[in-house]
Chain A
């Protein structure tokens, strides 16, 4: 395993530790009367931003109020991220190529699972509306976009990774790069030693 890749993996491992304490995702809302915008930040273990104000507004359309304790994810997510951080560090130190391939596979799987989980939550919040809500628009649901922009009545909702999320994605890209390069190097190495024979 090349020294460059090992350093990259170790640095990524350290960066992942930071992700535990940084906001991972953000949903920004804006409307005419909210020129300053409202934002909801999702950390590995909590919700932040103007949660109470958003909850207050959501009662008009009958959306359930957001409470961190409703999300089981917040109790396990910090440990999962910590697990990955340690895995990055160890593999960087142990220089085990097989394990590197395994990590890449797990990390990718986790990323996809997290997005699917996020989508399901958004779907449920957007669709499970109180039938006694003051404002009912036939056929309207209020599911925020998984990523990107969507107009929900008078609010524009913009969903994007936050700083922690970007670090996470960057770590994924670095991991992918290291994995591919190591795989290529290994192949040529094997080829060279084959030629020598």
Chain B
């Protein structure tokens, strides 16, 4: 090739490339229309219309955003240490991270469920799941704090959780990884999956009065992977639906070996029937378990852990009418129930259609025994007998479906990165809109209730690439807000999220905001380490433990000079914030502490354990800018050698002892 030819060819090639480039569809910029800003603008000082509780994924936390502004209001620590709030660092909160494995400082929080009454959000609690070390947590919406954590035995990977029934009778937990049941019998070769691995579905009851959770019973099923679940509602109240995959029962290279079957199953569980069987004593009591139950008390401001050792197990294949399988194409992920409770939408993540099942047809099929056999002893309903219809060519990789309350469903598509709106009755696709990029969950406020608030839909995206300013190799994941009040979905806003946003739910602000606690009443503080006023502030020695009962109020600690602590002592700073004014927390930190800080709300007592590692004088100070004299809010603690025999003294304002003043 001559030099001229080379140049010409290059020119032609680049001309062609640029032409192709011009043919490319326009990017996201053009997808936003003119009035988008106006629709999400919440003026300074004005409130958002919704609270949006968004899972923090592998951060282990739950974040709270305002909608439609996308403003981050709070990050609630749940399963992971949170140094900002001292969560898991203070002696009082450490028990909240306790498990049968000991203190587990991290987890993977996937799904969010607001408590329901009559199938609608009641604004009392939020339930979330820990995917790694199976747990369910309850967050109290008066304090926006984790109030309770319950570990689940006989489980591995609590993914199919914490979906709830329409009156919050039960919160469920389906094991993602089937595992040999807890105990000695678990020591088996991995390739004996089919024989020894079991799937459990845990039903956790919730007290109507105080929300307290208890593992009511477990249903033992053949070993498969449970992915997601939803309770029936209205007409299907009393039933629960779980999606399964790996019905191939593979234990290695699942991406191939668990994708072989044309259809996996949705497991329909009649939990009212389960209650009958329990009453009839058909459950098997299993003992020798160990699972933690952690509760936080807002009066003593202290968490405690108790370990449970037993549960009752119902064996699905032995109890007729308890469980049925419905075949569902290709590894179903989401299984979502429409507002009436009649339609059950399965989303096979490798499927080309969205099957919609009819609860009425399913009941008829059960009555008429239209089964196509059994799997692990559980009857399989014929696909056609339960099927209402299929949404044809919806997109690639359907994952989850929410409902707008106007007879439509919106399904998220991971592979084709879009949201698709379709009509439940005629199963026709009505609209589709791209998401940026690769949506996992989606959420319509109230989208899983009997009365969805079909104003917005949010896509929670796994990939953001060019959507925000680059921040190195690690990028934020995002939420993308669309207006769905019209026929066409309209993109309004992108906002980055904490960790990976899996599922989220949103509730009208009115249902929550007026119940928000402002302070804890100091007179109701029952902490054994409280100091209700300066007269209670003191330092006590108990063997090699030094207990410092501190009060904090703008702008001093009482006491602020402490001497007589010896190397080898363990120092417990019990700090009571005696403020009774809203939004007036005080922090506490001491030099060299190998844990974290405390952040103490008005009226609360929190304890920081500190083991001094050398002699000297160590400052401690308030970490939360509290007042004009915040920088003065400090103190000193002196650490002496044991043989120096320095007497234990403490003071504020006057030097003790008098003769040693400088």
Contacts and interface: CB of A to CB of B under 8 A. Distances in A.
A36 B582 CA distance: 10
B545 to A, nearest CB: 32
Contact of B554 (A36, A50, A56): A56
A27 to B, nearest CB: 17
A130 interface: no
B580 A53 contact: yes
Interface in A102-151: 134-135
Contacts of B629: 60, 134
A56 B628 contact: no
A60 B628 contact: yes
A135 B628 CA distance: 10
Contacts of B627: 60
A53 B628 contact: no
| Chain A CB within 10 Å, residue with most, of B581, B628, B632 | B581
Nearest to A135: B628
17 contacts: A36-B582, A50-B581, A52-B580, A53-B580, A53-B581, A56-B553, A56-B554, A56-B579, A56-B581, A60-B627, A60-B628, A60-B629, A134-B555, A134-B628, A134-B629, A134-B632, A135-B628
A53 B627 CA distance: 13
Interface string A43-74: 00000001011001000100000000000000
Contacts of A60: 627-629
A60 B553 CA distance: 12
B462 to A, nearest CB: 40
Interface of A: 36, 50, 52-53, 56, 60, 134-135
A134 B653 CA distance: 13
Interface in B569-611: 579-582
A142 to B, nearest CB: 16
Contacts of A53: 580-581
Contacts of A50: 581
Nearest to B522: A52
Interface string B549-569: 000011100000000000000
Contacts of B632: 134
A187 B341 CA distance: 86
A135 B629 CA distance: 10
Contacts of A134: 555, 628-629, 632
Contacts of B555: 134
Contacts of A135: 628
| Chain B CB within 10 Å, residue with most, of A52, A53, A56, A60 | A56
Interface string B631-649: 0100000000000000000
Nearest to B582: A36
A56 B581 CA distance: 10
Nearest to B627: A60
B518 to A, nearest CB: 10
B452 to A, nearest CB: 34
Nearest to B45: A35
A166 B414 CA distance: 68
Nearest to A34: B581
**Cβ-closest 10 pairs across A and B:** A53-B581, A134-B629, A52-B580, A56-B554, A56-B553, A53-B580, A60-B628, A56-B581, A56-B579, A135-B628
Nearest to A154: B628
A103 B628 CA distance: 52
A53 B629 CA distance: 16
Contacts of B582: 36
Contacts of B581: 50, 53, 56
Given A56-B553, A56-B581, 12 more contacts: A36-B582, A50-B581, A53-B580, A53-B581, A56-B554, A56-B579, A60-B627, A60-B628, A134-B555, A134-B629, A134-B632, A135-B628
B628 to A, nearest CB: 7
A52 B578 CA distance: 11
A158 to B, nearest CB: 20
A53 B555 CA distance: 13
A136 B554 CA distance: 17
A60 B628 CA distance: 9
A9 to B, nearest CB: 44
B280 to A, nearest CB: 57
Nearest to B518: A36
Nearest to B553: A56
A60 B626 CA distance: 13
A136 B527 CA distance: 38
Interface in B346-375: none
B638 to A, nearest CB: 26
A135 B554 CA distance: 13
A135 B632 CA distance: 13
Contacts of B580: 52-53
A93 B353 CA distance: 91
B44 to A, nearest CB: 12
Contacts of A36: 582
